[in-house]
């Protein structure tokens, strides 16, 4: 996938984990300066947090979970934002693009 350097964008399906057994389905989108989460369906607009500016992100990683793969965003306050039900290939590409965009 080729992204424009001045405005990269990559979206994938993810479910924001709210409690141990509850998640909000939606789309996680990587932009050139932030990551946005938008809930879908009847839960649209119910996001606890929907914007993660790069300057506020301490670390971002992906790994295996009980529901395929997950992306975890750790903010500068140490709070973890977990996004489950992510396709492995998409999660890996999301992290790679984030790392290449954020190193500038």
Give the pLDDT of residue 54: 95
Span 2-57, pLDDT tens digits: 444 455 578 877 887 876 667 888 999 999 899 999 988 777 776 678 899 999 99
| Cβ 62 vs Cβ 74: under 8 Å | no
Every domain of the chain and the residues it spans: 8-100
Pick the CATH number of 8-100 from 3.30.70.1050, 2.30.29.30, 3.40.50.970, 3.40.50.920: 2.30.29.30
| Cβ 34 vs Cβ 7: under 8 Å | no
Angstrom distance (rounded) from CA 19 to CA 12: 21
Give the pLDDT of residue 66: 67
Span 54-88, pLDDT tens digits: 999 999 998 876 667 899 999 999 999 999 889 88
In this predicted model, which residue has the larger pLDDT, 19 or 94? Answer: 94
Give the pLDDT of residue 1: 39
**CA angle, 61 then 63 then 66, to 5°:** 135
């Amino acid at each position: 996938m080729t992204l424009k350097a001045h405005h990269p964008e990559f979206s994938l399906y993810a479910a924001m984990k709210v409690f141990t057994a509850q998640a909000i389905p939606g789309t996680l989108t990587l932009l050139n300066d932030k990551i946005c989460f938008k809930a879908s369906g009847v839960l649209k607009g119910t996001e606890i947090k929907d914007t993660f500016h790069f300057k506020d992100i301490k670390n971002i990683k992906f790994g295996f979970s009980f529901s395929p793969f997950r992306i975890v965003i750790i903010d500068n306050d140490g709070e973890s934002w977990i996004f489950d039900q992510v396709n492995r290939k998409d999660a890996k590409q999301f992290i790679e693009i984030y790392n290449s965009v954020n190193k500038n």
